[in-house]
Amino acid sequence: MPAFSRLFSEGFRVFFLAAGLYGLFTGLVWTFYIAGDDPGLGDAPSLWHAHEMIFGYATAAIGGFFLTAVPNWTGAPGARHGFIALAAGLWFLGRLAVWYAMALPPVLVAVVDLAFLPVLALKILSQLIKRPKPQNLMFLIFLGYLWSANLSVHLDWIGLEVGDASSGLRAGLITLCALIAVLGGRITPAFTRNAMKRAGEPEAKWPVSRPVLERAGLILAIVLPALVPSDLSQTGTSVVAIAFGVVLALRLAGWAGLWCLSQPILLSLHVALAMLALGMVAWGLSGFDLMPELVGVHLLGIGGVGGMTLAVMSRAALGHSGRPLVASRPMAWGYGLIAMAALMRWFGTGVADFYGPAMLATGVLWVAAFALYLTSMWPALTQPRVGRPG
């Protein structure tokens, strides 16, 4: 199979590659901006940065995950080359539209950028109805939340009072974190349990999931993103966020994370969820003026979203290309650098004199992590499946 055609043969290939490249690109643009370079984004480079990390980078990672995982959940045929190419093209056009937003009509930018998620959701729905299960269909709710959050941003950019860019960006980030908490809550204990079983560990040491905490985590994950853009009090939203973080931390405590210290491909999942739990509590505390909001936002965005997407994309790329589920040394360093970037951003927020250097260091760490991901995963994403011709 020609290399270009292979890229669109499976959803994880083009979208995980696009996520890696775009994560690297956005990180470079933001780092150069911090260093004093003008990226040509007018007076709103921070808005571009926030929007594209949430609705650009992360949606590529989500697209690749669902196009790969849903057929496995349902037994439905995977998306064909043509659809994958169409979806990838819509995602890419959205990125171009937002980059050139200063020169394009805002309505056009909105229409182009908002096109990808509905197309993705319809494809996922067509596959899920083959074997409909509530625990899988609910992911459409998160995609709806995410699309609505992006719509709110664009309505504000268009100039309509019904939109609020800041609220939309927050809602988008919290939706991503809720989605990651649900998915991570499934795969992290399952993958850890499987690895411990293969290693011959006694069942008493395997990860334990407590039904009460699992139900609470699911309810909070669905409720919290709906509260963020609503007119309800900030206090109520903050309390729910703190509860969400605490519940996730309690769940994570039972999943044998210490056993994974020697297996970076598993440890990365645990660390990302720990960052998400910590970030959710910090973000909730910011509603009571007990912590700067930026601390929670960047623990969630860098450590939670960035960490989990790198962990899942690398594992899925290896597994679905027939390669051993073992992170290379460079990829293991990539996991660590993402966590370091999140902690560096936290530290920089709390130390005024170190704020600028910490932001720059955070950008460098992010860029390095994605460079390591791309170099490590390039064969898995672009070359034939091991043991299968073409």
pLDDT band at 42 (very low <50, low <70, confident <90, very high): low
- CA quadruple 46, 336, 293, 356: dihedral, nearest 10: -50
Give the number of C-alpha atoms closer than 13 A to the C-alpha of residue 98, restricted to the C-beta side. 26
Cα–Cα separations (whole angstroms), residue 285 to 173, 236, 238, 288: 16, 11, 7, 5
CA distance to 66, 230, 232, 315, 334, per residue, from 340 (Å): 28, 33, 35, 20, 10
User: Quick check: 68 and 124 in contact, CB under 8 A?
Assistant: no
The one-letter code for the residue type at 167 is S
345 in Cβ contact with 300 (< 8 Å): no
- The pLDDT of residue 248 is 98
Give the span between the Cα atoms of 112 and 96, in whole angstroms: 9
Distance CA 62, CA 149 (A): 16
For residue 232, the model assigns a pLDDT of: 61
In the predicted model, is pLDDT for residue 4 greater than 80?
no
d(CA 117, CA 59): 8
Tokens of 295: 């601390």
d(CA 121, CA 139): 9
Q: Kindly list the distances between the CA atom of residue 352 and the CA atoms of 297, 346, 356, in Å, as whole numbers in the listed order.
A: 18, 12, 8
pLDDT over 60 (residue 390): no
Q: Answer yes or no: are the C-beta atoms of 370 and 57 closer than 8 Å.
A: no
Cβ(272)–Cβ(184) under 8 Å?
yes
Per the CB < 8 A criterion, the answer to whether 314 and 374 are in contact is: no
8 A C-beta contact, residue 182 and residue 310: no
| Number of neighbours of residue 207 by Cβ within 10 angstroms | 19
Domain ranges of the chain: 3-382
Cβ pair 19, 68 in contact under 8 A: no
- Contact status, residue 136 vs residue 65, Cβ threshold 8 Å: no
Query: Where is average pLDDT lowest: 22-26, 45-49, 50-54, 380-384?
Result: 45-49
Phi, psi of 40 (to 5 degrees): 80, 30
Residue type, 254: G
Question: How many residues does the structure list for the chain?
Answer: 390
335 by DSSP, 3-state: which?
Answer: helix
The residue assigned the tokens 């899925």 is 316
pLDDT tens for 107-142 read 999 999 999 999 999 999 999 998 889 999 999 999
Average pLDDT, integer, range 176-199: 96
Contact 43, 97 (CB under 8 A): no
C-alpha dihedral sign at 162, 164, 165, 169: negative
List, in order, residues 6 or more apart from 183 with CB less than 8 Å away. 65, 312
- 301-356 pLDDT, tens digit per residue, is 999 999 999 999 999 999 999 999 999 999 999 999 999 999 999 988 776 677 88
CA–CA distance, 31 with 26 (Å, rounded to integer): 8
CATH C-level class of 3-382: mainly alpha
Structure tokens given for 128: 């899920």
Q: What is the mean pLDDT of the chain?
A: 93
Q: What is the pLDDT of residues 371-385, one digit of tens each?
A: 999 999 999 999 999
pTM tops 0.85: yes
Q: For residue 300, what are the CA distances in angstroms to 118, 235, 319?
A: 25, 19, 26
Q: What is the dihedral of CA 167, 169, 173, 176, to 10 degrees?
A: 100
Distance CA(275)–CA(258), nearest Å, equals: 15
